[in-house]
Amino acid sequence: MTASGIFAIFLVVLALVACGWPLGGYIYRTFAGERTWTDAVAVPVERAIYRLIGVNPDVEMDWKAYLRAMMVSNLVMALFAYAVFRLQAVLPLNPAHIPAMPPYLAFNTAASFITNTNWQNYAGEQSLSYLSQMIGITFLQFTSAATGLAAAMAFLRGMSRQKTDALGNFWVDLVRAHTRLLLPIAAILAVLLLALGVPETLSGPAVVHTLSGSMQTIARGPVATLEAIKQLGTNGGGFFNANSAHPFEDPNAWTCILEIMGMGLIPTALVFTAGYFLRSRRLAIVLCTLLGAILLAGAYLVYAYEAAGNPILAHALGLHGPNMEGKEVRFGLPLTSLFVAATTAYTTGAVNAMHDSLMPMSGMVPLLFMMFNLIFGGKGVGLLNILMFLIIAVFISGLMVGRTPEIFGKKIEAREMKLATAAMLVHPFVILVPTAIAMALPSARASMGNPGLHGFTEVLYAFTSAAANNGSAFAGLNGNTPFYNISIGLVMLFGRYVSIIAMLAIAGSLAGKARIPETSGTLKVDTFAFGYVFVAVFVIVGALTFFPYLALGPIGEQLQLG
């Protein structure tokens, strides 16, 4: 590790927080119905969209109607994408004449992108036409991110309102997420990526003569536009199989910094948005400080172990130096380490290095971040997980000190705790049970690219990534089999929607309650003292739940190195 590398990581995270604060205020004003500087352009466009789809923007929904609209729209979009993947061979914009995607793989891909996971059991440049990349992949990268944002806004309204069943209008939230946030910022990001060397074309693959005199086919396509929403929407699904390690997706260190900023910008801002909704900016500062510190600690841990190198090579061959296997020299260890931590903290799933080549303890960092699933997290759903654990922490703290559990003037009762507990428990369940089933099946074990503890980590990482709607992989596992396509697809769906359903039900319950005036006996949740309790709760829950599996994976592998 070097001082410049440590400072560079800190500077990028600091820039994320600095940009997230004002953006959080803008997001609040957008979804609270206040005036913003984008009204002049956005309002006429939105009115036209509402007339086209037959929606009255002034009519709000209760949590059941809101959830119904969300689930039906997501189902229709997933079926549309599945049809595009299956029919791409006969659809236009297929200059490479790529055949139809097989049924199991098409199901996995549609489930992956509608859930904002973007797990890829295929090589994008070999398996998808330009049309599939644009109206199947890029389309869902926008709408899945907007869906998560809408769910988070509905929950924040439920916590901030009283004696009502109205959580907003899903269609209005979905449209505003596109017109006022995702589309404008993605357009700016795409132009910047274009200026820095990311290609954007509808021409077919280029055939060139190499210096050795042979012919080489170079895949290309509309990369910059996909790359922009891939990072901004915390999607992670790359145009190319190598993802952000490919020079067409991430040409240099500047694009790497830009992509890290893109993936972390909105999730960081949403913490401040929550502070505005709940009239507690101090809470936003406490959460941002603690979660930012955990992100930095993870990045520094990866940096330290990768910079130290492989002790087996040092002992057996006398080769000292950093572990550069599976890494791009153009990024260097600091940006690679931060990318590894950020892509799983923000549940993006993009990779600029092969996680399968990380040192064992470095590989445990992305695993832990996905198991916690709330180190900022993805678009909207990450904030829901943060608020879920806040409710659990308030309930536990209230029991410990003998006070009635309440948060922001709302009593936390049995109904809310049952729903929050269900939302919390579904995450480890859909990770640990499928992993155990996979290890019991010889056909599933045959997909492991490595034997022993590292092979087990590959399987554990795959289901953890799916459950957290992250999408990154250890890359040593062959996931394109019927078992993994179906099982990972189902895990992605359960990991996404069970928690959203539970949290919207909590929002409906909280919105109907009267706000209790704050007294001297009210438990303060916007202090660093409570923030430490909040961190302790999710760390202890994570440790108790996942430690045996981690001991069989990265921890055991690290001990073997010694």
Q: What is the 3-state secondary structure (H, E, C) of 245-272?
A: HCCCCCCCHHHHHHHHHHHHHHHHHHHH
CB 205 within 8 A of CB 220: yes
Q: Quick check: helix, strand or coil at residue 215?
A: strand
| Whole-number pLDDT of residue 203 | 85
CA neighbor of 371 nearest in space, from 425, 454, 427: 427
Residue type, 91: L
**526, pLDDT greater than 90:** no
Phi and psi for 249 in degrees, rounded to 5? -95, -30
CB 493 within 8 A of CB 144: no
Residue with tokens 């957008």: 30
- Residues in the chain, total: 562
Q: What is the pTM (predicted TM-score) of this model?
A: 0.92
Residue type, 522: T
CA 273 to chain centroid: 18
Average pLDDT estimate for 50-64: 94
Which tokens go with 551? 């001991």
| Whole-number pLDDT of residue 352 | 92
Out of 105-119, 224-238, 309-323, 547-561, least confident range: 309-323
Beta carbons within 8 Å of 158's beta carbon, 6+ residues apart: 63, 167, 504, 506, 507, 508, 509, 510, 511
Q: Kindly indicate the confidence band of residue 518, based on its pLDDT and cuts at 50, 70 and 90.
A: confident
CB 118 within 8 A of CB 141: yes
Say how many C-beta atoms besides its own lie within 10 A of residue 108's C-beta. 30
Taking the C-alpha atoms of residue 439 and residue 238, their distance in angstroms, rounded to an integer, is: 29
Which tokens go with 268? 């960081």
Average pLDDT estimate for 474-498: 93
Where are the domains positioned within the chain? 31-208+216-263
Which tokens go with 533? 């309790």
Cα dihedral sign, 59-60-65-70: positive
pLDDT in tens, 336-394: 999 999 999 999 989 999 999 999 999 999 999 999 998 998 888 999 999 999 999 98
Q: Kindly indicate the confidence band of residue 409, based on its pLDDT and cuts at 50, 70 and 90.
A: confident
| Whole-number pLDDT of residue 299 | 96
**521, pLDDT greater than 80:** no
Taking the C-alpha atoms of residue 111 and residue 479, their distance in angstroms, rounded to an integer, is: 14
Average pLDDT estimate for 22-43: 93
